[in-house]
Structure 1
Amino acid sequence: MSETRQRALVIGLGKSGIAVSEVLRERNWDLVATDEFPDRVADAIAHLATLGVPFVETDALRRTLRGDETAVLSPGVPPSARPVAIAWAAGCTVIGEVELAARFARAPILGITGTKGKSTTSALLAHLLRAAGKKTALGGNIGAPLIREVLPEGLDAIVAELSSFQLESIDRFHPRVAVLLNLSPDHLDRYSSMDEYASAKFRIVENAGAGDTLVANRDDERVWSFARNLGERITTIDFSLVDPAARIAVRGDEIVDTRAEHALAAISDVPLLGRHNLANALAALAAALAFGIDPSTFPAALRSFTGMAHRLQPVAEIAGVRYIDDSKATNPDAAIAALEAFAQPVVAIVGGRAKGTAFGTLGDTLARHARAVLAIGEAANEICAAVAGRVPCERQATMAKAVARARELARPGDVVLLSPACASFDMFRSAEHRGDEFSEAARALAGSTHA
C-alpha cells in the first residue's frame, strides 16, 4: 500500500477511529473525520484537530468528499449509517479498521470470532505462541485497536479477536488461521435475524484459500454445518468436548490430537473455570497447532496462563463466600456458561441493557443454580420475570447496593457472581467499568469485615 498523500474519511471517533486517524496521519495521509454524534466525541474531535484532522458534520460530507477517499468505518458504526451511505454515493471505497490493519500487517494473522469466549481464546492463543518463542501481537475487539498492534517490526504472528461488527466491513482480509468458536443469539438489536448475525461471523473465511486453516467447534451445530460445507478450499481442524473422533478432543483426563494419537496436555493443565473455558483451550491449542507450534510447549504454557480480567475472575472472599467478576458475559449464553461452572449455590447479579435476546433459558438456569437473583439496569424487570415463582429476585439500583445485598443473602460456601447477560451502557461506561465497580464494592466489604 502506498503511504504518500492518500486520502481517507474516518467514520466514527471511538477508540478505533482515533487510532486509525493517528496512524494514517503518521503516514502523511490527508484525512477528514466525521461522527453522527459529535456531542459524544468532543474530546476526540479536539484531539484530532491537534493532528491537523478536520471534523466534518454529516450534512456537510457531500460537499467535502471528492470520491477518491478510502472511508474507514469504526466497528461501532453500522453500515446503514448516513455517513456510510454518503461515502458510497460519493464513490469512496468503504472498509473497516480491521481491513485497513490487515493491509499494513507484515506478519500472518490468526483471527478468532464467535459469540462467547473470543477474548479468552485470543489471549490464550497469544500466550501459547509467545511461550513457543514467537513475537506475537494481540489486538482487535479485545480492547486494543488492531491498526496499532500490527505495526511493530519483527512480529511473527498477530492474534486478532474479531467481532461481527468488525467482520461486516472487510474486503480482502483473510487470516492464516481462522477460529469459529460458537454461535448463539446476540446483537439482535443490530441484526434482523440470527442468520444475518451468523453470516457476519462467517465472513472470517470469505476470502480463505490454499494455505489457510479454519478451526471449528464440532459441538456447535450451526458452526459445524457451515464448516462442513466449505469443501476443500480451506483446511479444517475440528475440536470437541464430547466427540472423541474430533481432531482435537477430550479423552479421559487428557486433551489429544487424534490424528497424531498424541496427548497435547492434561485437562488439569487448563487453569480456567468451567467447561466452556475448556472448549476455549481446545480451540486455542488447535489454532496453535495449525500455525506450526511445537505441542511439547503446550502443558507448561497452559499452566502459566493467568486468565483475563472480568471473565470468571475471583476478586474477593468474605466469610467463606467467593466473589466472582464475569462482567464480560454480555449475552445470556455467556452467563449460562458461567453459572454452570459452579457446583455451589450462586447469588447472581444479572442485568443491564438487553441486546434483543430472550431470557427464558437463562431464567431456567438461574432457577437451577441460584439461591437468589439481584437484577440491575434496564433489563431488571425482564430478568425477574424470567425467574418468577422459582427463585427470589430483587431489583437493585446500583452495583454497590447489589453487592451489599448479595453479602446478606449468601451463605458460607456460596458464590456471588456478577454475570450480567447484558450490555453495560445503561449504567456504566463499559463492561470493564461495570466489573471494576463490582470488584471495588466486594473488596470494600472484605476490608470492612477485616477492620
Structure 2
Amino acid sequence: IGVTGSKGKTTTATLTAHLLKAWRADTILAGNMRISALAQLPLIGPDTPVILELSSFVLEGLGAAGLSPAIAAITNIYPDHLDRYGTMEAYIAAKAEIGRHQNNHNTIVLTDTDDALVRLAPAMPGLRVWTGVHAPRVPTEGSVWWDTDVLYAMLQGGTVAIAQRTDVQLAGTHNLANIATAVALALRAGMPHTAIAPALRAFTGVEHRQEVVTTHDGHTFVNDTAATMPDAAVAALTSLPQPIIWIAGGADKKLSFECLAATAATHAQQIVLLQGTATALLHDALVRHGAGDRIIGTFDSFEAGIRAAHALPLRPATIALSPGCASFGMFRNEFHRGEEFRRIVSQIIAEAG
C-alpha cells in the first residue's frame, strides 16, 4: 500500500498502518516518516501488509522503473516543491507515478473534491475508489465518505456505517479527509469493516503534526513543524483553538503566501516570524492582508522567538509552531525543528518552576 499527497500523507499512512495492525499485528509501516523500508525487510513475508509513505522524489524513481503499489492513494494536490519542479504540471506528474503503472486489478484511492486528482483519474488504470468529507459524486465499490457525523462506506453495493465522529480524536476537516482515505485503504486490504471503529478510537495522531506538547501558564504549545507549505499552515490556523500566537517563516520553496496571509489575518492574533529565505515574502504578504500590526518581530534565534511568544500577555492562547515554510538554514530538517521546539518549551517550563 502506497500513500502520497501534498498534505496528510504521513497521518494517512500512519493511520492506515494503525488500523491494519488491529487486524494484522505483523503490519509494517515505513517510508518518508524516517522509517527505512529496507531495514524492515527481515520482518516482511509474502503476505505481510506493508504501508509506505512515498514522496514525489521517491515516486520519480518508481516511475522510472515502471512500478506502482497494488493499492495506492493520493490524499490531495497543492503547490509544493516548486523550487525543485519549476511548474505544477511537473510536480503533479511526479505524484501521479503512484498509480500510473497499476493494472486493472489494482486500486487507486482519490478524493473527488480535489480537481487535480479528478483530472488525473483517467490516467490511472486501477480501480478508482473515491473518498472525502462529503459523499462522492460517483460512489464506487469501497468508497468512504463522511455525512454529517457518520463515516460511511459502499460495500458490496450497499451503504454501511463504519464509524461516528465521536470515534475520532483528531481535529480539523483535513483530518476527516485523511481518515476517509485511510479507512478506504484498510478496507481494500481486507480489514473487516466492523473492526474499524474500535481501532480508530485508539488513534491519537502523529508527532510533529498539530501535536500538543503541553499546557502551561495559560498557553497550549502545539508542534506543527511538518507544516512546511502554506496550505498546511492554513489547515492548522483554521482548526486549532483560538486565540493563536503563530510562529512561522523559514526557507523558500517558491510558493505563494497570499492565501496563508489572508487566513492569518483572521485567525492569528499575534505573529512571530523566524528568519529564512521565505520570511520577507511572508512578512510582505501579511502586511498586504492587514496583519502587519500583529507581527511582533522577525527572529534569527528560534529560542528567542519561542520565548517572545510565551512572554506575550495573551492568555489563554495556543502558541502554534506551524511555519508554512521549509526548515533549511536554521535546522537539519523539519523534525529537528520540532524536536528543538519541544526542548525549548520544556526548558521554559522548568525555569518557571
Pair in the same fold by TM > 0.5 = yes
Q: Identify the residue that residue 5 of structure 2 maps to in structure 1.
A: 114
Aligned equivalents of 1:206, 1:272: Cα separation in 2: 31
Aligned equivalents of 2:254, 2:308: Cα separation in 1: 28
Q: Identify the residue that residue 186 of structure 1 maps to in structure 2.
A: 80
Q: Quick check: 1:198 aligned with 2:96?
A: no
Native 8 Å contact 2:251 2:279 kept in 1: no
Q: 2:40 aligns with which of 149, 166, 169?
A: 149
Aligned equivalents of 1:298, 1:368: Cα separation in 2: 37
Q: Quick check: 1:429 aligned with 2:332?
A: yes
The residue type equivalent to 2:176 in the other structure is L
Q: Quick check: 1:376 aligned with 2:279?
A: no
Q: Quick check: 1:390 aligned with 2:291?
A: yes
The residue type equivalent to 2:274 in the other structure is I
Aligned equivalents of 2:26, 2:242: Cα separation in 1: 41
Give 3-state SS (helix, strand or coil) of 1:353's partner: coil
1:81-132, Cα deviation, whole Å (9 max, x unpaired): xxxxxxxxxxxxxxxxxxxxxxxxxxxxx00001011111111001111011
1:164–1:410 distance in 2 versus 1, CA, 3 Å: farther
The residue type equivalent to 2:311 in the other structure is E
Q: Identify the residue that residue 58 of structure 1 maps to in structure 2.
A: none
Aligned equivalents of 1:338, 1:151: Cα separation in 2: 38
Q: Quick check: 1:346 aligned with 2:244?
A: yes
Native 8 Å contact 2:81 2:91 kept in 1: yes
Native 8 Å contact 1:214 1:234 kept in 2: yes
Give 1:152 shift: 2.0
Aligned equivalents of 2:54, 2:267: Cα separation in 1: 32
Give 1:415 shift: 0.6
Q: Quick check: 1:291 aligned with 2:182?
A: no
> Could you say what the CA RMSD is over the residues aligned between the two structures, in angstroms?
1.6
Q: 2:111 aligns with which of 200, 206, 217?
A: 217
Aligned equivalents of 2:9, 2:40: Cα separation in 1: 17
Aligned equivalents of 1:312, 1:376: Cα separation in 2: 19
> Which of structures 1 and 2 has the larger relative contact order (alpha carbons within 8 angstroms, sep 6+)?
2
Residue range with higher mean Cα deviation, 360-369 or 410-419: 410-419
Aligned equivalents of 2:82, 2:166: Cα separation in 1: 37
Aligned equivalents of 2:2, 2:147: Cα separation in 1: 27
Aligned equivalents of 1:351, 1:156: Cα separation in 2: 41
Aligned equivalents of 2:320, 2:335: Cα separation in 1: 15
Aligned equivalents of 1:215, 1:431: Cα separation in 2: 28
Give 1:343 shift: 4.2
The residue type equivalent to 1:218 in the other structure is D
1:353-399, Cα deviation, whole Å (9 max, x unpaired): 11111111110011110011111131222221111142421201212
Give 3-state SS (helix, strand or coil) of 2:84's partner: coil
Aligned equivalents of 1:401, 1:316: Cα separation in 2: 19
Aligned equivalents of 2:150, 2:136: Cα separation in 1: 11
Give 1:446 shift: 2.1
Give 1:421 shift: 1.0
Q: Identify the residue that residue 308 of structure 2 maps to in structure 1.
A: 405
Q: 1:322 aligns with which of 206, 217, 220?
A: 220
Alignment of 1:139-288 (within 5 A): 139-154=30-45, 156-170=48-62, 171-227=65-121, 229-230=122-123, 233-243=125-135, 245=137, 246=139, 247-258=143-154, 259-288=157-186
Native 8 Å contact 1:134 1:157 kept in 2: no
Aligned equivalents of 2:218, 2:198: Cα separation in 1: 31
Contiguous gaps of at least 5 residues in structure 2 = none
1:399–1:332 distance in 2 versus 1, CA, 3 Å: same
Give 1:137 shift: 1.2
1:201-256, Cα deviation, whole Å (9 max, x unpaired): 001112100320000011111012211x247x321110111336543111121111
Contiguous gaps of at least 5 residues in structure 1 = 1-109
Native 8 Å contact 1:244 1:250 kept in 2: no
Larger Rg: 1
Aligned equivalents of 1:167, 1:410: Cα separation in 2: 47
* Percent identity (aligned): 34
Native 8 Å contact 1:335 1:421 kept in 2: yes
Q: 1:360 aligns with which of 255, 258, 263?
A: 258
Give 3-state SS (helix, strand or coil) of 2:85's partner: coil
Residue range with higher mean Cα deviation, 267-276 or 189-198: 267-276
Native 8 Å contact 1:176 1:212 kept in 2: yes
Q: Identify the residue that residue 22 of structure 2 maps to in structure 1.
A: 131
1:63-96, Cα deviation, whole Å (9 max, x unpaired): xxxxxxxxxxxxxxxxxxxxxxxxxxxxxxxxxx
Q: Identify the residue that residue 446 of structure 1 maps to in structure 2.
A: 349
Aligned equivalents of 1:285, 1:153: Cα separation in 2: 22
1:394-429, Cα deviation, whole Å (9 max, x unpaired): 201212111111112252231100011111121011
